[in-house]
Structure 1
Amino acid sequence: MNIWITAALAALVSLPALAANEVAPRVVQVPFGQGIEAAEFKQSIRGRLTAQYRVSAKAGQILTVDLKPSNTSAYFNITAKGADYALFNGSIMGNHFMGPLPDDGEYTVQVYLMRNAARRNEVANYSLSLNLSLADASDRTRPFDQTLELQGIRFHMTTQGRDDNRVLRISPQGLEIDNSDIARPLKGNIVRAEIADLDRDGSPEIYVFARSPGRRLPGELVAYSANHKKSLSEIYLPPVGENAKAAEGYQGEDEFAVVENALVRRFPVYESADVGAGRTGKMREVRYRLVAGEAGWILREDGVMEY
């Protein structure tokens, strides 16, 4: 069950006073657990003031964070307690994150203003949404049921079965020629679905993201495009291994997100592709743009970066 929580300023707890040239962050312990898996905060920061949202989670849980600020210089970072590096850097990656958490423990989502804006004592009003998938087995096998609509086309998505017999069913409405259901087998658990128009042709696409529980397992993408609002065609995503640079140190654990007009694939970088290799502490991002192919639609690689 999703329970949305709008935080009041009175719920914020400040850390002890710091040095005169520092500003203590506002701190919120996000109350996930006992049926609560989603929270929303509508607040503001000014200058060097930051806000920290602390989440207790288990390895493999999927954390989703969306920040909608009034100031374009406002971003968020995600850091694991005791870590030497940020799991996510918003000033590089943007204001959306979705992915599996690597370890048990506490994670901090910190909202902040970039240095120049902070020096000018600017204000950022923002809405911050957080979602943490529940960890128990009954939740992972709970049927998925969601409806998304864009540009007059509606997609109703449900799952049936469980374990190796899990099936995703997509039921479109509003297409001019063919509104037949599509059924696709799934290996993992659906963590998110998004609707978008990446190629900006006035006709939407549906993107369904799934993850298998555990480390070193690949993520899944099921995607279809509404061809000029007439019928659905599958969208092909090339495997990471087609690009040697992108595949170096790749061991799965993919997360997907629609960011602006691109599909983004992110995953942790390992020291090598060997089973016993450890993580380097870096994340790699591969961006794709949607293009028309000879027999359908293709997500074509449009850049690789690490952070």
Structure 2
Amino acid sequence: MNFWLGAILLTVIFTSAQAATEVAPRVEQVPFDKGTDSARFNESIKGRLTAQYRTTAKAGQILTVDLKTSNTSVYFNISAKGADAALFNGSIMGNHFMGPLPVDGEYTVQVYLMRNAARRNEVANYSLSMNLSPSSDSAQPFDQTLELQGIRFQVKGEWVDGNPVVRISPQGLEIDNSAISRPLTGNIARAEVADLDQDGSPEIYVFARSPGRGMPGELVAYAANRKKSLSEIYLPPVSENAKWAEGYQGEDEFAVVENALVRRFPVYESADAGAGRTGKMRQVRYRLEAGEAGWVLKGDEGVEY
């Protein structure tokens, strides 16, 4: 499937909730009160039925959501009440979310079947877990281990002198398995392992986000050079491309899609602080290439929808 088809399919994440206009969603309130900070639901949906789990939270709290199901067409989205765009889109970002919430208010976790499965009236049993920490300072640190092609990466979030840091510890490299620490301005949302250039050696991609308008998303990425040692991967800022930078005000999301890194963000009327959103999203695709001094993510496609 080529990228343009992929881009079209990605728009389904915004229209999948249209099923709610055809079949009323099943709505459950998740209070997270009386000292309870986690909840689990073992339920099912069928066809165009969606399930919505609503909770009230404050800015800065860390929400963790995990979805397990045997049906590969089941995903979840997370949205804030009154927001123009989803905070998280499961159909491109997977079935795990962990990140800070940007504003005070009501948040909805919506579980749904993709349109093709809904039309076939498929049934999906699933287990959904939600955790809401009191604040980012007291949240459980991000700690995940990923493996590909015999190389293992432990990605761990830490606090150093009151500032967030990501620590990447590789295992299985032939020469250097030293841990690497990098400072962050936001909190780790998730990590992915991939082989974008298909050279037989993996890369590790760590995505971090800061709540609030004007805050760019962060990418920390390293490539395993012929499975011997790690080299940093450079991602050019959006400002290097004048066309892509029009109306850019941060709020980036990243995902690995079809051997490429995809960056998407809301488009504003201008770069001015008081500008409003246009209602469109811009998506840029990057390919991993060897540069003169290391690895570079080179943008080769940009679309709006």
Q: TM-score range by the shorter chain?
A: 0.7 to 0.9
Could you report, residue by residue, the CA deviation over 1:109-151 in whole angstroms, capped at 9, with x for unpaired residues? 323335564444332344546565x4625237x7655443333
Alignment of 1:221-236 (within 5 A): 221-236=219-234
1:46 corresponds in structure 2 to 46
Match of 1:296 among 285, 294, 297: 294
- Say whether the 8 Å CA contact 1:75–1:112 is kept in structure 2: yes
> 2:192 — aligned with what?
194
Indicate how the Cα distance of structure 1 residues 92 and 170 shifts in structure 2: closer, same or farther if over 3 A, else same. Answer: closer
Residues 36-56 of structure 1: CA deviation (Å, up to 9, x unaligned): 36x665533212322112232
SS in 2 for 1:303: strand
Q: How does 1:93-104 map to 2 (within 5 A)?
A: 93=92, 95=94, 101-104=101-104
- The 1:168–1:137 alpha-carbon spacing in structure 2 relative to 1, beyond 3 Å, is closer
Q: 1:155 aligns with which of 138, 153, 156?
A: 153
In the alignment, the residues of structure 2 paired with residue 152 and residue 32 of structure 1 have an alpha-carbon distance, to the nearest angstrom, of 41
**Are the structure 2 counterparts of residues 144 and 90 from structure 1 closer, same or farther at C-alpha, using a change threshold of 3 Å?**
closer
Q: Check the 8 A contact 1:67/1:129 in 2, yes or no.
A: yes
Cα-to-partner distance string for 1:249-285 (whole Å, 9 max, x where unaligned) = 1112223333453323232322211122233344333
Q: CA deviation at 1:229?
A: 1.0
- CA gap of 1:248–1:149, structure 2 versus 1, over 3 A, is same
CA contact (8 A) 1:77 1:86 kept: no
Rate the CA distance shift 1:120–1:143 in 2: closer, same or farther, 3 A.
Answer: closer
Normalised to the residue count of structure 1, the TM-score between the two structures is 0.73
5+ residue gaps in structure 2? 1-20
CA contact (8 A) 2:62 2:134 kept: no
**CA RMSD, 1 decimal:** 3.6
Change (3 A) 1:195 1:60: same
**Greater displacement, 44-53 / 210-219:** 210-219
State TM-score, norm by structure 2.
Answer: 0.73
Q: Which residue of 2 aligns with 1:107?
A: 107
Give the whole-Å Cα distance in 1 for the aligned partners of 2:193 and 2:283.
21
Aligned in 2, Cα 1:199/1:213: closer, same or farther, shift over 3 Å?
Answer: same
Deviations 1:173-215 (A, max 9, x none): 2110122232333333333333333333332212222234543
Q: Percent identity?
A: 75
Q: How many residues align?
A: 282
Which residue does 1:26 correspond to in 2? 26
2-structure distance, mates of 1:271, 1:135: 35
Quick one: distance in 2 between partners of 1:192 and 1:221?
A: 10
